[in-house]
Structure 1
């Protein structure tokens, strides 16, 4: 990091040039002629004329989390993705969202009263090096600064109000697993940290704003996958994970640990799941596919079922009538009676959804299943499963709104493209394109969609039938951006190999003929905009350049002052005069990943490295521009885009794999904004 103090933008009125400094590097931006006389970088910034409300979240985190889907008495399914807890009423097609977290949620527990929920998060973006800041905890546990620390939030699922915030300065890296006590009506909460010793802490969670930590102990040097209180014995806690299952007795502020004894049985590498039978015995599943019942109050095995599943047993559900349902990596969901004899009821989760990570009771005889491929399913042993939520499973960068329908397309490193309907909140279609996708674009009439991949290939596809028309190759690096000209006659293909490839479009957007290559960037191309007359391009690159091009000639325009009054059809370049105000003081040029302008030109929206979506008045050409900011993503926000009528904004998270749909509402001019 540079040691120099951030320099304010400087304006040279004679030349009409404002210098923006990013990490000490100057960038010259030419002020449009009508503003030259009156412009000042520190001029007054208007409040954004619109605000956002999170309307729908597409996605679920099942790939690496467990026990994180529950049915609530309200009829809602509760689960999480990114930094959002989703409460989804499938029957009524309604979602509510708990937005108290600032970073990845890793675990969830429901209180015995089924109303109160606890969720645990990882360290925030500025707090990754946990050990160094444990020494200086924030004084106010409810301050914005405190929210960047790993912590537990206890909240009301009806009102969505935060009741208590626990563990700030106690938890080192992330909350791995959580459970409420059961035998005493839920007075206690146990948490396991992902620190090297996997510290386990027991909380009187309802005492004061921050709860009261009753005790803390080192749990295991190895990974801990689950923790639970016995429903019968108030003082018994079970933990399991790599190389262990442990039985803890809680008495007089002390925890005594006994390790599970497998005797002459094969010792599994992982004990992957635990639950309790209706008589209070512990039942465990392991990485060898076996089920074991452990004596109540002891640490020895009472019964073993070998090969209950082929591969790990991820989930064990004990139902009210004592029957047991298990889900395994083999994709099977199996029903057992209370003596662990098979009842004959088995269902197979279709391969495309991935094996079941968690199985829980739904409404009536329904089961709700969360899968490794980030899907939530509903089904019974007699009726087929149906997906109620599907999501991407790997990093997500490609986003393209349909030019005339309430639809948008996403494309990710999981090699999958989804076309989503913003009104029905459903997938219209999905397509496996065979390799990781980096970018996407619709043709101007919406008939054709183009997908750019990480290998330099780009695919031309019918937007309705998914028929592949053609494939093209430009370099061997990812295709970062695809942009059709406003008149529909050209396509600009921006690559990570520093070049923009120019194509002539013909035959109803089905045929693409290369016209030339724009060479001049000294780093990878990040953003491209067309001029409204389809004659010019502006582009940004990874080393914070802003270059201009004659599109027809594929040639750089070196006299950049000539471009000051060009009208641009879109505003996706993050480094321009109109976006000067989106850069916070001391920002790195990579901190803002994406920006977009509303089709009615009133609003500019950005997505940044810190999980924030920010709304500015357009143009945002004054430093310290006023903005409204919104959380929910827990990773880099990789793309933002308005749908065609500006009624919704779509944002994608990179590693959080979440797609968020925001309702856009206009604000009165007197509305206050936060910075």
Structure 2
């Protein structure tokens, strides 16, 4: 859509806009039509957004992305946000927080990136952080690059953006020279490895690393200019000297060469240690490419992480078996007594291994706090705190996330994803309230007006009615065999509408004892249903579809109402439909119709927020009726932000990302 393509007909008081060449006629409400000026500029919103909290962690497909800072904060990433999360719980950690002037149970955020962060490295001074991102949906504004920033001030110190392709997947600061160099590996076909004088933002050297996947690149902690890389069928030992990078491949000799070498670390002796997809550990002679010790069957399945503790002991983490195994510096297993002595905790004795609960996933990253607390990043995007019994302190969805709904009467909101989990959160406490795993992948959700029930639509055409307090299943229904795209309860009647990808809207009544009965279906759309709004009296509804239609319906007659003379002045309980007269201004000038994924009007009708395919959350004054409307835009998500909703009191805005699986909570200020 562009300004010249939008016209207004004064005679019939309709606006015509185009999306992908399709004309869309929108009738102006009488109150707005009287003084409507299409050439005017819509005002900037009177409020702003501040990112308050990010729910989730990216452990599904990233490594080495969880560290503990000297002030006790965890640093990790999800979507395009680097999160600094303080999770104080015991006296010693409370003392550390006070010492460093850090509030307990808070988050700070570094939001300099424009798309998904894929890699993270902590400088030897434990203050500076490097984060590398991928290329975004919009290549002009989201190119792969590295940002080095101060974890105390959140100030950006350097940006490295010369020649990376697709994504920066591995990062490591040099250790033996106080961190003056940074090694980076990108996600190009040749997985180019480069060494940088990062303070000068200057690339010193680059070369092809491998045509196979690279998962880790680390500077040796003692040996100057020595780098080890690993990945698919590959361990590489690199010496950076005389302006060149020289590689020797790791020699497995008589040992079975694994398909993947997943992780690496360095023992206090200077030997490198790698973990592989067969569950084996290999210890490599210091500074050389030969194996001195090969330990088989450490884990059942892949070893995803090796952590060298502050005492020099070794902890390994398994992906399939979700176990931690403990070794001393000589790679002998620690017995129970040695572990208790090592952790120096008044706690239950540990076995030689610790098993994580299955629903949290396997071990992806390990970090150690100032008080020997362990933090485990998992493959299902959670962070657990231990040792002993590992409890979740960060919980995230681990598959594509679209479903979001807010409780009409409290601070709670619900999310549901294609990982099959339905989760209810408290925006005030910033914690999970209750969680349930369904049999089907979830696509949509809605709260009933009395807050008693949550309806969840799935990709199979099945949808559930759940008790909002405990997520106990009350009923389930199936409408078609395609995804339930949207669910909306009528605000003032016991009715609900189910929008399917099969182009139909199904209407249900809710009788005594909350029994749901199908009334029929609305037919008329020629593409899948994307959004539904009810009128305040529950008599009528409007729908958008994937081919940019806006249709109006009479709920009682279950028929389409094509007359703009009657529909233009309906009082709408919500404005989640993206294609309406009051949302013309949320569409960018070059929109193709799929760019805006969702919108929501504040309950006081002062604001409307939209989310788009470019990782942006956009805030407008409501109504946004001018093609050219001023707005505020906020980053944090990666490409394809999928849903947005104001809390019941408009104090906060909740947004969810599709593939980034992140939930973000914004203060409206």
Q: Secondary structure at the match of 2:48?
A: strand
CA–CA separation in structure 2 for the residues paired with 1:297 and 1:644 = 60
Q: Which whole-Å deviations, capped at 9, do the CAs of 1:606-649 have from their partners, x for residues lacking one?
A: 01111111000000000111100001110311110011111110
Task: Determine whether 1:567 maps to 2:564.
Answer: no
Shift of 1:474: 1.2
Distance (Å, rounded) in 1 between the aligned partners of 2:120 and 2:134? 13
Instruction: State the match for 2:439 in structure 1.
Output: 434
**Partner of residue 150 from structure 1, selected from 144, 148, 154:** 144
Task: Render the CA deviation track for 1:582-620: whole Å, top value 9, x for unaligned.
Answer: 111121111101000001110000011111110000000
Q: 1:71 is matched with which residue?
A: 68
Shift of 1:41: 1.8
Inter-partner Cα distance in structure 1 for 2:608 and 2:405? 17
Report the Cα offset of residue 6 of structure 1.
6.9
Indicate conservation of the 8 Å contact 2:229/2:235, yes or no. yes
The SS at the match of 2:334 is strand
Matched, 1:192 2:185: yes
Cα distance in structure 2, aligned partners of 1:33 and 1:326: 68
2:656 pairs with one of 652, 658, 669? 652
Q: Distance in 1 between matches of 2:448 and 2:32?
A: 34
CA RMSD of aligned residues (A): 1.2
SS of structure 2 residue aligned to 1:35 = helix
Say which SS state the counterpart of residue 170 (structure 1) adopts.
Answer: coil
User: Residues 21-73 of structure 1: CA distance to partner in whole angstroms, max 9, x if unpaired?
Assistant: 11222111111223333212222311101110000000110011000000001
- Say if 1:278 and 1:322, in contact at 8 Å, map to a contact too: yes
Deviations 1:105-159 (CA, angstroms, capped at 9, x unpaired): 00000000000000000012122xxxxxxxxxxxxxxxxx5x5210000001011
Q: CA deviation at 1:468?
A: 1.5
2:437 counterpart of 1:443? no
Write the mapping of 1:26-37 to structure 2, written as runs, cut at 5 A.
Answer: 26-37=23-34
Selected match of 2:120 from 97, 100, 108? 108
Kindly indicate whether residue 265 of structure 2 is the aligned counterpart of residue 272 of structure 1: no
Q: Does 1:482 align with 2:473?
A: no
Q: Distance in 1 between matches of 2:218 and 2:118?
A: 16
Matched-pair contact (CA < 8 Å) for 1:149–1:169: no
Alignment of 1:441-590 (within 5 A): 441-508=446-513, 510-590=514-594
Partner of 2:424: 419
Per the normalisation by structure 1, the TM-score is: 0.93
Equivalent in the alignment of 2:98: none
Give per-residue Cα distances to partners, 1:286-305, cap 9 Å, x unaligned: 11111111111211111111
Match of 2:366 in 1: 359
Question: Distance in 2 between the 1:124 and 1:432 partners?
Answer: 31
Which whole-Å deviations, capped at 9, do the CAs of 1:304-330 have from their partners, x for residues lacking one? 111111111111111232211111122
2:173 corresponds to which of 155, 164, 180: 180
1:640 paired residue number = 644
Match of 1:260 among 239, 250, 259: 250
Q: Secondary structure at the match of 2:312?
A: coil
- Map residues 7-406 of structure 1 onto 2, 5 A cutoff: 7-91=4-88, 92-127=104-139, 145=140, 147-166=141-160, 168-207=161-200, 211-329=201-319, 330-344=321-335, 345-380=352-387, 383-406=388-411
User: SS state of the match for residue 423, structure 2?
Assistant: strand
| Conserved? CA contact 2:2–2:588, under 8 Å | no
Question: Quick check: 1:60–1:391 contact (8 Å CA) kept in 2?
Answer: yes
Aligned-partner Cα distance in 2 for 1:290–1:486:
59
2:286 and 2:40 map into 1 onto residues whose CA distance is: 72
Q: Distance in 2 between matches of 1:276 and 1:44?
A: 60
Q: Which residue number in structure 2 is paired with residue 671 of structure 1?
A: none
Distance 2:8 2:372 in 1: 69
Indicate the residue corresponding to 1:601 in structure 2. 605
**C-alpha distance in structure 2 between counterparts of 1:553 and 1:588, whole Å:** 34
Q: Deviation at 1:458?
A: 1.2
* Matches of 2:134 and 2:26, distance apart in 1: 39
Q: Provide the secondary structure at the position in 2 that maps to 1:615.
A: strand
Q: Structure 2 vs 1, CA of residues 216 and 206 (structure 1 numbering), >3 Å: closer, same or farther?
A: same
What is the rounded CA distance, in whole Å, between the counterparts of 1:591 and 1:320 in structure 2?
Answer: 48
Partners of 2:562 and 2:456 in 1: how far apart? 31
Q: Which residues of structure 1 form unaligned runs of 5+?
A: 128-144, 666-675
In 2, the alpha carbon distance for the partners of 1:419 and 1:13 equals 47
Q: Which runs of 5+ in 2 are unaligned?
A: 89-103, 336-351
Greater shift in the superposed pair: 272-281 or 359-368: 359-368
Offset of 1:488 from its aligned partner? Answer: 3.3
Is contact 2:41-2:630 (8 Å) kept?
no
Other structure's SS at 1:606 match: strand
Q: 2 CA distance for matches of 1:5 and 1:664?
A: 30
Deviation for aligned residue 1:494? 1.0
What residue is the counterpart of 2:348 in the other structure? none
How many Å separate the matches in 1 of 2:641 and 2:248? Answer: 45
| Structure 1 counterpart SS, 2:410 | coil
Question: SS of 2:436's equivalent?
Answer: strand
Q: 1:436 and 1:158, CA in 2 relative to 1: closer, same or farther beyond 3 A?
A: same
CA contact (8 A) 2:3 2:627 kept: no
Whether the aligned pair in 2 keeps the contact of 1:222 and 1:241 (CA below 8 Å) is: yes
Asked if the contact 1:224–1:240 (Cα under 8 Å) also holds between the matched residues in 2, the reply is: yes
CA distance in 2 between counterparts of 1:488 and 1:661 reads 30
Cα distance in 2, alignment partners of residues 465 and 124 from structure 1: 38
Pairwise CA distance, 1:423: 1.1
Q: Secondary structure at the match of 1:315?
A: strand
User: Would the aligned equivalents of 2:401 and 2:656 in 1 still touch at CA under 8 Å?
Assistant: yes
Q: CA deviation at 1:369?
A: 0.6
1:187-242 deviation digits (Å, cap 9, x = unpaired): 000000110111100000001xxx11110011111111101011111121100111
Shift of 1:507: 2.4
Whole-angstrom distance in 2 between the partners of 1:265 and 1:469? 56
Q: In the alignment, is the contact (CA less than 8 A) between 1:516 and 1:553 conserved in 2?
A: no
Distance (whole Å) between structure 1 residues aligned to residue 32 and residue 211 of structure 2: 64
